């Protein structure tokens, strides 16, 4: 089983035209959560697709060109994927905006990464959720971790809180 794959990072200077491409290994896919403009926004959650868009859009001024030292554009791509994909949702910047507890909508089954991966390696790029780790907090510096995991034998979701586990219907009550 393969747990480590590669990101492709392309940096392009609009001033001198230099392009620098590097590949970096990852064992978890860290996604940025977009900050919502609170005025006029009735949306109560963020989708996983929005997190992918926020993370993998080209960012102007995110790199300094080695050749001319001007600010340039940086573009991050998923180049290859592991057999088991671990996604981390990066929330810290949201605590400052009061959006740290905004829920993220994600598919329990059928997360399709086709079209998001540069090199498919002739494998299916569809993933099903089987566990989450959650951080519940009073404030960003004080909280507790809990987990939800799907039992592969009885197909039920269980909540783990460090002391014991409980049957849970929080993830998907009609999952079979």
What is the per-residue pLDDT across 32-81, written as a single tens digit (0 to 9) for each? Answer: 888 766 555 566 788 899 989 988 988 888 788 888 999 999 999 999 99
Q: Residue 112 pLDDT > 90, yes or no?
A: yes
Q: Per-residue pLDDT tens for 122-142? A: 888 999 999 998 877 666 677
pLDDT at 173: 39
138: Cα within 13 Å, side-chain hemisphere: 1
Q: Would you place residue 13 in the very low, low, confident or very high pLDDT band (cuts 50, 70, 90)?
A: very high
Query: Can you tell me the distance from the alpha carbon of 1 to that of 83, in angstroms, rounded to the nearest whole number?
Result: 6
Question: Are the CB atoms for 25 and 4 separated by under 8 Å?
Answer: yes
Q: What pTM did the predictor assign?
A: 0.77
pLDDT at 104: 82
With residues binned 3-state (H G I as helix, E B as strand, rest as coil), the percentages for the chain, rounded to 5, are 5, 40, 50
For residue 33, give both structure tokens: 């959560």
């Amino acid at each position: 089983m393969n747990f480590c794959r590669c990101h492709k990072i392309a940096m392009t200077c609009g001033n001198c035209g230099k392009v620098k491409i590097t590949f970096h290994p990852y064992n978890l896919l860290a996604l940025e959560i977009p900050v919502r403009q609170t005025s006029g926004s009735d949306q109560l959650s963020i989708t996983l697709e929005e997190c992918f868009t926020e993370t993998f859009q080209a960012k102007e001024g995110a790199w300094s060109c080695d050749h001319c030292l001007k600010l340039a554009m940086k573009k991050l791509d998923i180049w290859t994927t592991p057999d088991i994909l671990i996604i981390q949702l990066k929330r810290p910047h949201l605590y400052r905006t009061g959006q740290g507890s905004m829920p993220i909508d994600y598919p329990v089954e059928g997360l399709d990464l086709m079209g998001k991966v540069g090199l498919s390696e002739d494998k299916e790029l569809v993933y099903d959720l089987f566990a989450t780790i959650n951080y519940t907090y009073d404030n960003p510096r004080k909280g507790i971790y809990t987990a939800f995991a799907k039992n592969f034998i009885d197909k039920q979701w269980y909540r783990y809180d460090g002391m014991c586990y409980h049957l849970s219907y929080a993830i998907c009550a009609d999952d079979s």
